[in-house]
C-alpha cells in the first residue's frame, strides 16, 4: 500500500531538476526556455511556418510571432519567403541557430548518459519500460477529463 508516493515525489523532484539543469545549460546563450523550446522544435521539424510552430509548441500564433521576433533579433533564426504561399513565412535556423541546436543535442546526450551511468543494459531496459508505463498512464490521466474530485464549492 505504501511506496507509491516516494516514486511520485522523486519524479516531481526530477522534473524540477531537469528544468533547472537545462536552464543552467543554456544560461549564457541569452535564450529563455520558451525560445529554447522553439529552437528545439525548429531543429526537429526543419524550416517551417509559424503556424506549424504554434501547433508544435501548443501556443497561439501571436505568441510565436513574439518568440520568432526575439530569436531573429538574436540572430538565431531568419524569416524567409514561403515558396508556394505568399501569406506564410518560413522560419529557418541561421548558422548560429544551427550551432546552438547542435550544442543542445550534445548537452542532452551528455546529461542523459551521466544520469544513468553505470546502469547495465538490462537495468536500463527495465527502467525504460517502467517509465514507459508511467508516461502512458499520465497520458491517460491528462486526456481523461478528471472525474471531478469534488473540489468543494
List interacting residues with DNA (CB under 7 A): 32-35, 49-51, 54, 57-68, 70, 79, 82, 84-89
Q: What b/e string do you get for 69-81 counting C-beta neighbours within 10 Å, with b at 16 or more? A: ebbeebebbbeee
Q: Is residue 112 a contact point for a second copy (CB under 8 A)?
A: yes
Question: Given the rule CB under 8 A, which of 42-50, 62-70, 81-89, 143-151 is the region that contacts a second copy?
Answer: 143-151
Cell digits for 139? 497520458
Report what 81 binds from DNA, a second copy, none; CB cut-off 5-8 Å by kind.
none
Question: Strands 89-93, 77-81: parallel, antiparallel or unpaired by DSSP?
Answer: antiparallel
Q: What b/e string do you get for 86-95 counting C-beta neighbours within 10 Å, with b at 16 or more? A: eeebbbebee
Q: Is residue 114 a contact point for a second copy (CB under 8 A)?
A: yes
Report what 111 binds from DNA, a second copy, none; CB cut-off 5-8 Å by kind.
a second copy
Amino acid at each position: 500500500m505504501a511506496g507509491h508516493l516516494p516514486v511520485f515525489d522523486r519524479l516531481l523532484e526530477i522534473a524540477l531538476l531537469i528544468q533547472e539543469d537545462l536552464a543552467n545549460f543554456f544560461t549564457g546563450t541569452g535564450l529563455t526556455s520558451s525560445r529554447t523550446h522553439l529552437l528545439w522544435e525548429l531543429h526537429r521539424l526543419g524550416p517551417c511556418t509559424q503556424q506549424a510552430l504554434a501547433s508544435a509548441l501548443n501556443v497561439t500564433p501571436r505568441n510565436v510571432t513574439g518568440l520568432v521576433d526575439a530569436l531573429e533579433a538574436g540572430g538565431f533564426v531568419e524569416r524567409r519567403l514561403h515558396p508556394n504561399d505568399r501569406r506564410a513565412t518560413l522560419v529557418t535556423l541561421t548558422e548560429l541557430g544551427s550551432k546552438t541546436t547542435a550544442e543542445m543535442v550534445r548537452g542532452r546526450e551528455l546529461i542523459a548518459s551521466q544520469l544513468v551511468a553505470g546502469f547495465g543494459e538490462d537495468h536500463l531496459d527495465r527502467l525504460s519500460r517502467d517509465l514507459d508505463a508511467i508516461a502512458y498512464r499520465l497520458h491517460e490521466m491528462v486526456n481523461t477529463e478528471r472525474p471531478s474530485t469534488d473540489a468543494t464549492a
